[in-house]
Structure 1
Amino acid sequence: MKKTILYIFLASVLLACAAKKPEKRSRFLIGFKTEYNTLFNAKDALDTEFTGRSNAHKDNFYAPYINILTYEEQPVGSDIGQSTAFAESSAGRKPGSSAPAQSTGENKGASILEIAEAKALKTIDKYSVIRDGQEKNDKIFDAYITLAQARIYMGKNLQALDALSTLMLKMREDKRLPLAKIYQGVAYAKMDDHFKAHEIFANLKNSDLKKEYRKLLSIYYSESLLEAGKKDAAIAELSSAFEVNNNRKLKSRITYLRGQVLAEQGKPALARESFESAYKYANDFEFEVKSQIEIAKTYNSKDDYSGARKYLEGISKKGTYASRKNEFYYALGLMAANAGKKAEAQDYFRKSLAEKVSDPQIRGLSYYEIGRGYLTDNEYISAGAYYDSAVTTMTYEPTRVLLQEQTNNIKKLARNYYLIRKNDSLLALAKMNDADRNAYFSKYIEDLKAREDAMERERIRAERTKGFDTGDYSSNSVFASANGSFENFGAAGKGFYFANTGAVSKGSSEFKNVWGSRSLADNWRYSAKMSSLEDAKNEALGLSSVADPRRFEPSFYIEKIPRDQASLTKLKYARDTASLGMGIMYDDYFSNTPLATKTLYDLVDNKPEEKIMLQALYEIFSMNYENTPAASERAKQILLTDYPYTSYAEFARNPRNSNFLKSNPDAENAYQTSFALYQGEQFDASRQMVDESLARFPKDALVPKFALLNAFIAGKTSGKEVMILQLEQIALNYENTPEGQKAKEMLNWLKSDLKVQMTDEKGNVLKTGNSPQTTPKAEAAAREEEKKNRLLEQRQMEQEMGNEVIMSTEAQQKIQTAPARKK
């Protein structure tokens, strides 16, 4: 009876505790029940999510940076490494997704993170013990941290901050609060509020933290600094993270990320040290290989090239590394390129393509490097073909998009380049005499015969070896079955491979993804591709690839050369236009200003027609006058000397610049003198002084006035059309200045086509042509009156130009002498 009463009493106590409000609950057994009941389930769900993410994680080594923690989201632009095993979790959801999964309209339940969030909330609601506004159950701290983490990785950053704020309010004396503040900083960083995140992280860094907290802080702080673009601070924090973290995996990832940042900053020596540390601590085979590639990328000419090459070639043949031989060949190619050994680099890139594919992105990069080699040799068709293969093979989307744009630009450039070569050849042949033309084509025919003989010998050799079967039909062959007889691929149990349309389709798509479209031929990896490239090049140059019976006769080629002047002029115009386009493309598409400048100067030396000449000189000047004025000087002088009254010359005198400061007294004196000369009709002397003043005072506030005066001088000496050109340039260059506005007014006036309207004594408009009162004498008088009015307006404007500078001079003198009077 006593035992029964005791059990009833204990049960009553427990029920009373459970039924009371949080502030009335007893701490008796609450901690134990919290830890081993609902909170355990919440923590277990969160751990399951992170474990699943880590297991499914595959690093994207081609994004700008890797993540240190493998359960973080993939970098932006990554479309590789997403494991299909975790396409949906055990609850039917993707790890970390925040909305219920839908499949054919059916709800498959909550995600793992939603389960963790719900369990944490239930723990807080059921087991919280409040005394005087403070939480007395220590286990509730873990529940709040679990809740915050679940919400952060679901993208509910504001709700996570709300949970952490409640925790800091209710458990303000808890020694574990630094952990809550770390996740508070993480939530702000996820919201891109890096200022607030860095403020929290910096305060924590300067406080006395436990070692495990300092480890976590260093990781999140360094990544947040990197996201905010503070790379120097991020490098320092990554070094700190490397020191405090003892886990080999984390050390390897930290140093790899640090190496990426240093390489991006142009510090190859320091980057190489970091990648070497990443290789040293790597506990993952993929990380070892990629670290070796990055080490090769940071090679410089001061390093021991032969030793480094021997080392990489050696490890590429050892054990499991042999399966990544294509990646090591790519690394060797990069190292050779950095050492200035272009031919050797190209050879390694081709070897990489010949090996088994372990990483499609590396294969695409090898295609790209070969194409880039052709690009530097002006082999644009070959470069474009290899760029196309790179785009087809690569898996990292941002690189593919950028490379696709470059490929399109190369194709545009190729059309111009081969058009120039073809037309140059035709023009050069047209200038030759008959003897030189015969000698030229005789030499060409000899080379053609030698090439065709070599191709014929190769064809005969292939025919002779075609009948020899080199297949392996021994008992060890893959074609033999276990009992020694030949395998029956048509048997019902196995089925013939090529009868399975699904298998054939999959194999065909995989082959095209790696190799592209190839025809069936010997040495198909290279021969077919190079043959098609040669055909494309010949087509661009206007050479027929079909063997003509007369191809060994010089007359066959000579009779195709144009002779009449109209055809030759048309060829030269097309050649010059293509050259102009190619020069502009070099600068716009490839940012290669020196090559663009050289191409355009070659065009100028080729004496194109005036329109193309002016455009070429303008492009040279505009792309060089700010950064490399020496390169633009020749173009400027040609414009000023040979085309002084064009808008291009005006631009060369005064490139668009509105950053004028104040007027120099010497510039004002020069302006007054030049204006006085203009009024005295000494136009040549006035123009000379204007040109000298613009050269002496290119940043002076009077530059727009000098330009406007120069336009008036041009109107007096060269006519209305030249004046209009210069006024248009002033209106464009100095749009927001009074001179720009006056130029617009003058343009409206000069371009207007006003007709004289005759009126009678009462002011009524008379019809022209039909009215007997409209006599030629009256029309001439009206035109003369209109002309006088316009001249009066022009003189008034000229007077305003002169008065303005005089007034500014007097005002400046008053300002300069005012302090003396005050003293």
Structure 2
Amino acid sequence: MKKKIVFLLAAIVVVSCSTRVKKPEARSKFLKGFSTYYNTLFNAKDALNSEFTERDKAHKDNFYAPYIPILTYEEQPLGSDLGQSSAFAENSMKMAEVNRPQNGKNGPGMPSNGPGMPGMPGNNMPQDPNNPEGNKGATTLEIAEAKALKAINKYSVIRKGEEKNKTVFDAYIILAQSRIYQGKSVKALDALNYVFTHMKEDKRLPLARVYEGLAYSQLKNYHKSDEIFDKLKNEKISKDHEKLLSIYYAESLLDAGKKESAIKELDRAFELNGNRKLKSRIAFLRGQVLQETGKCDLARESFAAAYKYANDFEFEVKSQIEIAKTFNGKGNYEGAKDYLEKISKKGTYGSRKNEFYYALGLMANKAGKKKEAQDFFKKSLLEKVSDAQVRGLAYYEIGKDYLDRNDYIGAGAYYDSALVAMTYEPSRILLQDQSNYIKKISKNYYLIKKNDSILSLARMSDAQKTDYFAKYIEKLKIREEKEELERRREERNKGFDNGDYNANSLFANSGNSFEDFGVATKGFYFGNTGTVSKGTSTFKQLWGDRALVDNWRYSKKMATIEDMKNEALGITSAPNPRRFEPSYYIEQIPADLGKLSQLKKDRDTASLGLGIMYQNYFTNTSLATKTLYDLVDVKPEEKVMLQALYEIFAMNYEKNPQIADRAKQILLTDYPYTSYAEFVRNPKNNTFVKSSEEVENEYKMAYALYESEKFTESQGRIEQIILKYPKDALIPKLNLLNAINAGKTSGKEVMILQLEQIVLNYAKTPEGIKAKEMLNYLKSDLAFQPTDNKGNSVPNNPFNGPGQPSMPQTDQNNIAPGNNKVNNNSQMMNNTPQNNNIQKKQLNQMQKLQSPEEVKASGK
């Protein structure tokens, strides 16, 4: 009887372990749960663990990005196992030979590529007819996804709509994870929805909710993710789930831009998590957010906590640097400086001296010790590079100091060096823009200095010129004597041995008198870094820094900042036999009035550009205003004077009305009949609200009057609309129509004045742009008696240059109602030259406006 029972049980086991796939309702809950973990599901976890291990090895924190991630891949949960244990890693190694594919063939755990079971997520991996298992060229995450799907397809046990095999929960979490880390968040949500539908009573359900919130956050649906995380936060869940929730919730809030809420959640995450590494990373991230919100004291405390809990040398160094960056300048600077200097000399910290010197420079800047700060930054550049980005930032800080002192050549040189060294791309992009701006400013700045110098010398008497250059020659002699002494000292030192006797030096090998130049075991001559290093050192001792050019022996071509300044100022560096004669320099000063006048014009134009660039590039309104007022004081030509006064008023009339008032008074007193004077009387606001139906109807009426050639009535209606609705979106369009009406009733000169006003008031609108195009044409051929900006008559000169001016091309974008774009076909007056048939045709073409129906029919 016993034998029969044993035989029967054995038969049951064999049948139940058959590879035949049964429907979920017909499967054994116990046996399927057992085989799921120790076969396919184990392989899925192993694949996911391998991916996380590889990513963790490759992971390098970017401390210059706005935020660091809290979890590194080493700390990512595997399925429902919160935390990767060393036990799993060891078990994974033991099972690897059994479960992993061998020799490029599929292992026993690889799934078929079927569509998945009803109600379950399908496997969307591409099918290869030569490789039915579908893992050829698959990434580790795709393998983890496929393994999880196979575990679900083969081992799911559904009874009355409920999943009875609890181990399948792990498979769904692994499936969701593998998809999230592939960026397939929608498919991850598909997998999680099955858990919420068929495993409603599982105690691990909060973990699935955490990943649901993470998936929505990855999709940038922050409202939904916040809803999920906040609901979970108010539920009673296990401590492990709560730890993970606090981390993902804090990062989601940061991504959504809710910094204050994120700080509170990071506080909670810090308290919940006991792992030292996690506490350190949470504290560091919290410090970054606090620093960004201007709470430097709290940020400093947070970075101190990051340093306290850090179990990573890199984290220790970066935490110390951030502590220094948050120094507010009011604390004990000397104590903090001594502390950092001592740390930089201790053990392994000595290899990061360049970073600590950079941090000390930042602290010195905050304490108001500018010179000391620059010394620290320069010391940082002399140390061995441990972080290229820090080296670039040190160059940047030195360049910034040059910029603050208006030394644009020096600033540009250091900014270029910073661009070469920096590794964080967003910083490089910002710095590249600044570097380009500095080069443009530099060009104008040194042109002004050069021309000012020449004009100043030209105004001197002969005796003053002789005395000035005599003093210059004395300084030149002293400098040349110093350079000659230095050259002789270097000549004397040439005979002494300054060789390199380290292990890589060719002198360190006592076996051979000469380095092997052939193909012996030592290899190629220039492959020996020690030999190349010694050769480079010797060359520099003999010749100094030389440019890679022909005839390099004849002159030292080292481009120093001083050389660059001299070149910008037009001072030649090549010695001249007559350089010690005052007459040599006096002869080069221009005496011709025409040349001197041109120098003055060039100088004034450059000064105007410099003031505008200060405002546009660096938003330095005070320096821009000072530069432009200095220009006004030297009485430039009228065109430049008007532009300078306009720029001063435009940038100051809202925020600094007292400063703007001087420019306003000059325009109103000396240039009352200009469009600039009209602008300062009534500066328009370029911020418009949406157009109202009432204004649109009024505009249609004004346009209808214009079409009926009732120009005066059209003007009156437009002026009433503008007074009543000054901020309506149609205001620029109304002004343009009014300018055209003015041209018909008052002539070309009045139309030009009104178009200039539109350009000043609405420069960035389509109407302002079109008005400028119309002005370019109208001003090119004035057929009336012109006056200057003070109302005085000037000789009539209708042509600015040879040939007829070209007309703007006509298009469908006109000023007809229903079209918010403006036609560039200007409306000309009836006083056009009758003897010019070509121009007459052009003017007739410009006078023709499209009706609203034609505009609608054109589709524009």
- What TM-score, normalized to structure 1? 0.76
Q: 1:118–1:306: structure 2 CA closer, same or farther, 3 Å change rule?
A: same
The residue matched to 2:29 in structure 1 has which SS?
coil
1:499 aligns with 2:526: yes
1:424 aligns with 2:424: no
1:228 aligns with 2:230: no
Q: Check conservation: 1:660, 1:700, Cα contact below 8 A.
A: yes
Q: What's the offset of the Cα at 1:286?
A: 0.6
Q: 2:212 maps to what in 1? A: 184
Q: 1:494–1:312: structure 2 CA closer, same or farther, 3 Å change rule?
A: farther
Amino acid at match of 1:309: K
Q: 2:607 maps to what in 1? A: 579
Residues in 2 aligned to 1:158 and 1:658: alpha-carbon distance in whole angstroms: 44
Q: What's the offset of the Cα at 1:346?
A: 1.1
Residues in 2 aligned to 1:624 and 1:58: alpha-carbon distance in whole angstroms: 48
Q: 1:69 maps to what in 2? A: 71
Q: 2:41 maps to what in 1? A: 39
Residues in 1 aligned to 2:50 and 2:27: alpha-carbon distance in whole angstroms: 32
1:203-218, aligned counterparts within 5 Å?
Answer: 203-218=231-246
Q: 1:10–1:630: structure 2 CA closer, same or farther, 3 Å change rule?
A: farther
Q: What's the offset of the Cα at 1:722?
A: 5.2
Alignment root-mean-square deviation, CA: 4.4
1:479-518, aligned counterparts within 5 Å?
Answer: 489-490=515-516, 494-495=521-522, 498-500=525-527
2:429 is aligned, of 389, 401, 404, to: 401
Q: What's the offset of the Cα at 1:480?
A: 6.0
1:357 is aligned, of 382, 385, 389, to: 385
Q: 1:64–1:700: structure 2 CA closer, same or farther, 3 Å change rule?
A: closer
Q: What's the offset of the Cα at 1:529?
A: 10
Q: 1:168 maps to what in 2? A: 196
The residue matched to 1:36 in structure 2 has which SS?
helix
Q: 1:71–1:439: structure 2 CA closer, same or farther, 3 Å change rule?
A: same
Q: 2:31 maps to what in 1? A: 29
1:266-281, aligned counterparts within 5 Å?
Answer: 266-281=294-309
Which sits farther off after the overlay, 162-171 or 2-11? Answer: 2-11
Q: Check conservation: 1:252, 1:278, Cα contact below 8 A.
A: yes
Amino acid at match of 1:119: K
Q: What's the offset of the Cα at 1:188?
A: 0.8
Q: 1:660–1:205: structure 2 CA closer, same or farther, 3 Å change rule?
A: closer
Residues in 2 aligned to 1:465 and 1:504: alpha-carbon distance in whole angstroms: 22
Q: Check conservation: 2:501, 2:508, Cα contact below 8 A.
A: no
Q: Which runs of 5+ in 2 are unaligned?
A: 76-100, 105-123, 129-133, 547-555, 690-721, 772-814, 817-821, 838-860
Q: What's the offset of the Cα at 1:356?
A: 0.9
Amino acid at match of 1:36: Y
Q: What's the offset of the Cα at 1:279?
A: 0.8
Q: 1:599 maps to what in 2? A: 627
Residues in 2 aligned to 1:700 and 1:35: alpha-carbon distance in whole angstroms: 70
Q: 1:434–1:178: structure 2 CA closer, same or farther, 3 Å change rule?
A: same
Q: What's the offset of the Cα at 1:705?
A: 15
Residues in 2 aligned to 1:326 and 1:155: alpha-carbon distance in whole angstroms: 38
1:563 aligns with 2:591: yes
2:146 is aligned, of 109, 115, 118, to: 118
The residue matched to 1:158 in structure 2 has which SS?
helix
Residues in 1 aligned to 2:23 and 2:734: alpha-carbon distance in whole angstroms: 87
Q: 1:301–1:481: structure 2 CA closer, same or farther, 3 Å change rule?
A: closer
Residues in 1 aligned to 2:214 and 2:480: alpha-carbon distance in whole angstroms: 70
Q: What's the offset of the Cα at 1:59?
A: 0.7
Q: 1:15 maps to what in 2? A: 15
1:631 aligns with 2:659: yes
Q: Check conservation: 1:293, 1:328, Cα contact below 8 A.
A: yes
Q: 1:616 maps to what in 2? A: 644
1:157 aligns with 2:202: no
Residues in 2 aligned to 1:49 and 1:588: alpha-carbon distance in whole angstroms: 49
Q: 1:16–1:318: structure 2 CA closer, same or farther, 3 Å change rule?
A: closer
Q: Check conservation: 1:646, 1:726, Cα contact below 8 A.
A: no
Q: What's the offset of the Cα at 1:227?
A: 1.0
Q: 1:691 maps to what in 2? A: none
Q: 1:14–1:133: structure 2 CA closer, same or farther, 3 Å change rule?
A: farther
Q: 1:5–1:748: structure 2 CA closer, same or farther, 3 Å change rule?
A: closer
Residues in 1 aligned to 2:366 and 2:662: alpha-carbon distance in whole angstroms: 35
Q: What's the offset of the Cα at 1:548?
A: 0.7
Q: 1:244–1:550: structure 2 CA closer, same or farther, 3 Å change rule?
A: same
Residues in 1 aligned to 2:235 and 2:516: alpha-carbon distance in whole angstroms: 75
Q: Can you list the C-alpha shifts for 1:320-351, whole angstroms capped at 9, x where unaligned?
A: 00011111111111111111111111111111
Q: 1:488–1:727: structure 2 CA closer, same or farther, 3 Å change rule?
A: closer
Residues in 1 aligned to 2:625 and 2:481: alpha-carbon distance in whole angstroms: 43
Which sits farther off after the overlay, 275-284 or 391-400? Answer: 391-400
Q: 1:296 maps to what in 2? A: 324
Q: Check conservation: 1:650, 1:726, Cα contact below 8 A.
A: no
Q: Which runs of 5+ in 1 are unaligned?
A: 74-88, 93-97, 662-693, 758-766, 769-823
Residues in 1 aligned to 2:498 and 2:682: alpha-carbon distance in whole angstroms: 77
The residue matched to 2:660 in structure 1 has which SS?
helix
Q: Check conservation: 1:498, 1:504, Cα contact below 8 A.
A: no
Q: Check conservation: 2:280, 2:308, Cα contact below 8 A.
A: yes
1:130 aligns with 2:136: no
Q: Can you list the C-alpha shifts for 1:273-292, whole angstroms capped at 9, x where unaligned?
A: 11111111111111111111
Q: What's the offset of the Cα at 1:135?
A: 0.6
Amino acid at match of 1:547: P
Residues in 1 aligned to 2:16 and 2:356: alpha-carbon distance in whole angstroms: 71
Aligned residues: 694
Structure showing the higher helix proportion among its residues = 1
Amino acid at match of 1:463: E
Which sits farther off after the overlay, 649-658 or 154-163? Answer: 649-658
Q: 2:847 maps to what in 1? A: none
Amino acid at match of 1:412: K
Residues in 2 aligned to 1:12 and 1:698: alpha-carbon distance in whole angstroms: 91
Q: 1:201 maps to what in 2? A: 229
Residues in 2 aligned to 1:91 and 1:229: alpha-carbon distance in whole angstroms: 49
1:83-102, aligned counterparts within 5 Å?
Answer: none
1:233-272, aligned counterparts within 5 Å?
Answer: 233-272=261-300
Q: 1:291–1:524: structure 2 CA closer, same or farther, 3 Å change rule?
A: farther
Residues in 2 aligned to 1:72 and 1:408: alpha-carbon distance in whole angstroms: 43
Q: Check conservation: 2:747, 2:831, Cα contact below 8 A.
A: no
Amino acid at match of 1:24: A
1:665-704, aligned counterparts within 5 Å?
Answer: none
Residues in 1 aligned to 2:501 and 2:359: alpha-carbon distance in whole angstroms: 39
Q: 2:470 maps to what in 1? A: 442
Residues in 2 aligned to 1:323 and 1:615: alpha-carbon distance in whole angstroms: 56
1:641-652, aligned counterparts within 5 Å?
Answer: 641-652=669-680
The residue matched to 1:562 in structure 2 has which SS?
coil
The residue matched to 1:3 in structure 2 has which SS?
helix
Q: 1:153–1:705: structure 2 CA closer, same or farther, 3 Å change rule?
A: closer
Amino acid at match of 1:495: K
Q: 1:583–1:505: structure 2 CA closer, same or farther, 3 Å change rule?
A: farther
